[in-house]
Structure 1
């Protein structure tokens, strides 16, 4: 009897703990849930974590949970021990556009319910660049990820993963479940608007985590989707908070809902009463009720005959007026617009819809006739030295870019010798207009800094976070467009190059704009991510100083002028006089010094765009330029390069766009 006493004490202790560490919600009320970010509880009891803004949303159970007792007995000695726990919740991810969502949601166990320091987007509102992967975070999470992020080695854009102190999942698997009949794997689409249920269980004896996913109607499968043997004793503190976190993207909006939630320490969480769960908002128009009448059979026959006649006529007319489409273009079909639709959208390419004229050709504003979406249409007639097939393949590749700071390429149209590119419409036009061509409109420092951070985030995505490396090759103020909220979008990928991660770029024609060209690019014609960083450095100085990177008539480089002021300890004198004194001195000095660092002649000294984002976000300290042994000569072009640039017959463009001269 005495030998069994320690075991009986443990069992009694577990029973007492579990009595206080259990909750069960079939729908939610504000008095038992703490909300953060954009999360809300709807009037009918739905927990809605995200909306259409680029902000994270969190919701935690209001009270902390006791996960272990430091005085418990384990194997006859005093030791900290994480109790077994289990939870289940019903959720739905409803995308704005069919099966397109970013970035996902997660169940979280954290030492605090205040995650305001966490970053949105790819960090799921749980971590930031500093805390991700940090053993002191003490975070356990199960992610339902709907965006593939190579930075975290995601397996795809529709997976479930177990995260321990990091978004690099310890184990992950495509979303789905094993049926109970023959254990065959059945795929599920997380961002499909379907209501699903997730179970998370941890056994303190086996040190095993099981995660199971299933559609709401079939119940819990016997075989879990994920299993991981891991001792959570060093991860979970004595007191922790449990809840949910979610983020969404600027181009792929999705609403993340939790309908019900059950949780228990040292036992199995109670099953949810599915019939009592709140209903999701109706998707699409309300169904119309049709009342039967005596004339209904006759009406249906007439409608059927008219429909058949319409289909026959439509197919005949479509065949008669079909466009010439080569076989190799079929795979790019979803990105090809009809010329007739673009003609109608721009009112016949009327001059009153003309937005501007650039190296590519004329740019028109348009409204697509069916969707009523505003677009910008670039139109040009050309004979490119690059083969049409290779060109369109690359355009389609760039069209797959998805980032809040990248202008979305929607598609193209080809008609005889004419090429048209269709982009998202940016109502505020280019940044160049605000800096140099609109004396009555002035961007304040807060707006300029937000533009800088936006362009930096877009370039980081192009260089590192997408499936391929994209070198823009023409980063400048006129290619930075501003949306209706004055957010920066990097556009005009007419000169860009793509290559696979880990491979080297090839020498090509020198393309770009005077003042933004890196010296090694002007000499060798080889474009790299480092040459983009140089262009970004010139862009930084241009935004802060309100002057173009080069005065061609005076043969003066802006980077030389700023560097001279830095050497004198007067770098703040370079700031745009139109700002007056309405700016943060420390922020201006940081951006100016970062502009000089990015503009260094030695490409090995320039930072990567990931480092640039960390410097601007305050996650990493900018090195002192003097510590890098950089003098004014470190920012100046060599004499032969200056001669080439200043004797060009072009005012700002080194060469014509590849659309007229090839790449």
Structure 2
């Protein structure tokens, strides 16, 4: 009887740990002293969160400060979540107000460029409907909707994804029982409660509303099936956004709010809410506005002179003049904020140095978020600006969990700055070659890293709206996050072109050891040249050696060493000795073979990144290892002969050493424009 009891205790213990790791919840029974992230008009007033007042063209945002882990452990499915809040809308006493508010899940607490009116302070005409927004929105709208067809009557509730067109919409009401509906006027000056529930297993969203005096109805107002996994990022922020317009305005209040991950949100204690204070009438406000206008007219001339002086100063000094490439770029930071964040670009904050600039760790004073600030350095101002623009154009609109996220940029005088997510564990290169004890990457971590890089390259090559050629895949451009996942960064050399077209680049760029041999002849980068660099990276991760080891008497080429070991019938002699033979033989054999195949001298012999993913996931068997003996010298002889048949021999591989020692075709090595970083 002792053994079952012991097993039951262990089971309960591990279950509690799992549930604890998945838990995330909070409750606000009023907002006094709360730590919400507020933006725009939003403020705390008399224990209530006030998003807007009844002024024209006002926007207010409020977010819970901590990001929510949206995905289950080791799962691609969005976690179940539930939120409950109480709101009150106070319209203008002259006519009905507007425009409403929205509950949102956003990858950031900053909604840059958002407009009021029908956009509810969430989006604008240029980004409305784009899949890169990663926004889940439930709107509580009080005027004729953004989409006249679906929201024609106003006073409605809608579910939106990435834009203001509702995928489901209903007039505000609630069910009494399961059949009879009662209308709810969102502007009836009384508190209303709302529930938003998402079932991650069934992939179903339910939205329910009712007056504060009515308990949660059994039947939801809106219930649709939608998979939110493509919309959600790993971490999202929950919050509210409200807006007024030019002719219509209301005060929007949130009185209480709760949210829970993997469970139903906690009930709110209505007794702790404070009544909404009486607001001034429109006539009183108009009198106040007239008085303010008279007062402001006294100093208007001085203000105009000041603005004119600033304009002339910037025009003459040519500071902050926007160029064409700047117009469609992501958020622009103020140089002052980045200077403060990096403590004046102090040397102690440097976390990386490359050929194109220095990277500093920074902490944004407004949000407390950690960022990495890359300061571009170039003697050639035009070239530096060109590389700067290339990185913004490419990385600024890319969104993938295995790519470094570009938050924004800054251009001030001769300073060119890029702001990224801070990735705490540094580069793959630093971890591979670190001499510190306890920093050796395990084989499990290495295999996970190379699969992550492959996933990021597949997104760049085939899954984004354009083809992106990175052109500088290497270990120092792979950053490792807190969970030891890989993120490919540094897009300063990247080039974009449309699917179905060919790249037009004609200069050889990249880093010695990772440059595909055909680049030295044609100068044209392609998806295949990225695959070549990825193949070298595979061998580097497996062997713990740089692609080229420079020595006084001769240069040791990594590919040559692996082929030597292959000729000696033991390819595992090339494996990183730091692993102490602690690795999965089949996986190591796969990585070494795939690395050699990806770095084949002939581009047409290399696999695509989609094929690479299939090999790494064991969906397909690498041709070299198909139908082999299980073990022994016979298997080794078969592998060696198959590599030879594929053209992978010492004399057929064009290595970096051959670039320096001889000419290729009629072009000498001295004519190459090779950029190493």
Q: TM-score, normalised by structure 2?
A: 0.57
Query: Which of 140, 148, 172 is residue 217 of structure 1 equivalent to?
Result: 172
Q: Counterparts of 1:148 and 1:180 in 2: how far apart (Å)? A: 22
Checking the alignment, whether the CA contact within 8 Å between 1:338 and 1:413 is kept in structure 2 is yes
Residue 335 of structure 1 aligns with which residue?
A: 331
Residue 190 of structure 1 aligns with which residue?
A: 161
Query: Which of 355, 367, 390 is residue 359 of structure 1 equivalent to?
Result: 355
Residue 164 of structure 1 aligns with which residue?
A: none
1:425 CA displacement? 1.4
Residue 457 of structure 2 aligns with which residue?
A: 459
Q: Counterparts of 1:341 and 1:550 in 2: how far apart (Å)? A: 41
Q: Secondary structure at the match of 1:253?
A: strand
Q: Counterparts of 1:326 and 1:358 in 2: how far apart (Å)? A: 28
1:567 CA displacement? 3.7
Q: Counterparts of 1:51 and 1:384 in 2: how far apart (Å)? A: 42
Structure-to-structure mapping, 1:129-148, within 5 angstroms: 148=131
Give a deviation string over 1:581-632, Cα, whole Å, max 9, x none. 3211111111111111111111111111111111111222221175572241
Residue 530 of structure 2 aligns with which residue?
A: 532
1:56 CA displacement? 3.1
How many residues end up aligned between the 2 structures?
A: 457
Q: Counterparts of 1:147 and 1:335 in 2: how far apart (Å)? A: 16
Structure-to-structure mapping, 1:309-320, within 5 angstroms: none
1:471/1:59 Cα in 2 relative to 1: closer, same or farther (>3 Å)? closer
Q: Counterparts of 2:299 and 2:369 in 1: how far apart (Å)? A: 28
Give a deviation string over 1:468-500, Cα, whole Å, max 9, x none. 111111111111111122211111111111111
1:583/1:190 Cα in 2 relative to 1: closer, same or farther (>3 Å)? same
1:318/1:579 Cα in 2 relative to 1: closer, same or farther (>3 Å)? farther
1:192 CA displacement? 6.9
Give a deviation string over 1:165-185, Cα, whole Å, max 9, x none. xxxxxxxxxx97944979xxx
Residue 395 of structure 2 aligns with which residue?
A: 398
Give a deviation string over 1:392-412, Cα, whole Å, max 9, x none. 266234311111111112222
Query: Which of 394, 407, 410 is residue 413 of structure 1 equivalent to?
Result: 410
Q: Secondary structure at the match of 1:421?
A: strand
Q: Secondary structure at the match of 1:509?
A: coil
Checking the alignment, whether the CA contact within 8 Å between 1:51 and 1:255 is kept in structure 2 is no
Q: Counterparts of 2:596 and 2:515 in 1: how far apart (Å)? A: 14
Which runs of 5 or more structure 1 residues have no equivalent in the other structure? 1-34, 45-49, 61-90, 101-145, 150-155, 160-174, 199-212, 221-240, 257-277, 659-663
Checking the alignment, whether the CA contact within 8 Å between 1:51 and 1:254 is kept in structure 2 is no
Q: Secondary structure at the match of 1:406?
A: coil
Q: Counterparts of 1:180 and 1:193 in 2: how far apart (Å)? A: 11
Checking the alignment, whether the CA contact within 8 Å between 1:430 and 1:480 is kept in structure 2 is yes
Q: Counterparts of 1:411 and 1:218 in 2: how far apart (Å)? A: 42
Q: Counterparts of 1:349 and 1:446 in 2: how far apart (Å)? A: 37
Checking the alignment, whether the CA contact within 8 Å between 2:511 and 2:676 is kept in structure 1 is no
Give a deviation string over 1:347-367, Cα, whole Å, max 9, x none. 111111122321012221111
Give a deviation string over 1:294-339, Cα, whole Å, max 9, x none. 9xx99x979x969979997998877655653335356246532221
1:519/1:351 Cα in 2 relative to 1: closer, same or farther (>3 Å)? same
Q: Secondary structure at the match of 1:624?
A: helix
Q: Counterparts of 2:557 and 2:535 in 1: how far apart (Å)? A: 13
1:643 aligns with 2:641: no
Residue 619 of structure 1 aligns with which residue?
A: 619
Query: Which of 497, 500, 504 is residue 499 of structure 1 equivalent to?
Result: 497
1:359/1:254 Cα in 2 relative to 1: closer, same or farther (>3 Å)? same
Q: Secondary structure at the match of 1:369?
A: coil
Q: Counterparts of 1:475 and 1:193 in 2: how far apart (Å)? A: 38
Residue 605 of structure 1 aligns with which residue?
A: 605
Q: Secondary structure at the match of 1:422?
A: strand
Give a deviation string over 1:535-580, Cα, whole Å, max 9, x none. 0011011111100011232322111221232344312222111111
Checking the alignment, whether the CA contact within 8 Å between 2:71 and 2:234 is kept in structure 1 is no
Residue 94 of structure 1 aligns with which residue?
A: 105
Give a deviation string over 1:434-466, Cα, whole Å, max 9, x none. 111334221111111111111111111111111
419-428 vs 392-401, which moves further: 392-401
Give a deviation string over 1:371-427, Cα, whole Å, max 9, x none. 222221222243245494796266234311111111112222222233222222111
Q: Counterparts of 1:254 and 1:451 in 2: how far apart (Å)? A: 27
Query: Which of 53, 57, 62 is residue 77 of structure 2 equivalent to?
Result: 57
Q: Counterparts of 2:405 and 2:203 in 1: how far apart (Å)? A: 34
Q: Counterparts of 2:169 and 2:484 in 1: how far apart (Å)? A: 42
Q: Counterparts of 1:388 and 1:193 in 2: how far apart (Å)? A: 36
1:632/1:343 Cα in 2 relative to 1: closer, same or farther (>3 Å)? same
Query: Which of 370, 379, 391 is residue 382 of structure 1 equivalent to?
Result: 379
1:96/1:393 Cα in 2 relative to 1: closer, same or farther (>3 Å)? closer
Checking the alignment, whether the CA contact within 8 Å between 1:514 and 1:654 is kept in structure 2 is no
Checking the alignment, whether the CA contact within 8 Å between 2:349 and 2:361 is kept in structure 1 is yes
Residue 427 of structure 2 aligns with which residue?
A: 430
Q: Counterparts of 1:609 and 1:410 in 2: how far apart (Å)? A: 27
Q: Secondary structure at the match of 1:586?
A: helix
Q: Secondary structure at the match of 1:372?
A: coil
Query: Which of 476, 482, 485 is residue 484 of structure 1 equivalent to?
Result: 482
1:505/1:389 Cα in 2 relative to 1: closer, same or farther (>3 Å)? closer
1:293/1:642 Cα in 2 relative to 1: closer, same or farther (>3 Å)? closer
Checking the alignment, whether the CA contact within 8 Å between 1:519 and 1:601 is kept in structure 2 is yes
Q: TM-score, normalised by structure 1?
A: 0.58
Checking the alignment, whether the CA contact within 8 Å between 2:69 and 2:234 is kept in structure 1 is no
Checking the alignment, whether the CA contact within 8 Å between 1:56 and 1:246 is kept in structure 2 is no
Residue 522 of structure 1 aligns with which residue?
A: 520
1:521/1:461 Cα in 2 relative to 1: closer, same or farther (>3 Å)? same
Q: Counterparts of 1:178 and 1:290 in 2: how far apart (Å)? A: 35
Give a deviation string over 1:18-77, Cα, whole Å, max 9, x none. xxxxxxxxxxxxxxxxx99x9999999xxxxx94347333799xxxxxxxxxxxxxxxxx
Q: Counterparts of 2:338 and 2:663 in 1: how far apart (Å)? A: 39
Q: Counterparts of 1:321 and 1:180 in 2: how far apart (Å)? A: 45
1:414/1:645 Cα in 2 relative to 1: closer, same or farther (>3 Å)? farther
1:618/1:279 Cα in 2 relative to 1: closer, same or farther (>3 Å)? same
1:369/1:59 Cα in 2 relative to 1: closer, same or farther (>3 Å)? closer
Q: Counterparts of 1:598 and 1:617 in 2: how far apart (Å)? A: 16
Q: Secondary structure at the match of 1:411?
A: strand
RMSD: 5.0
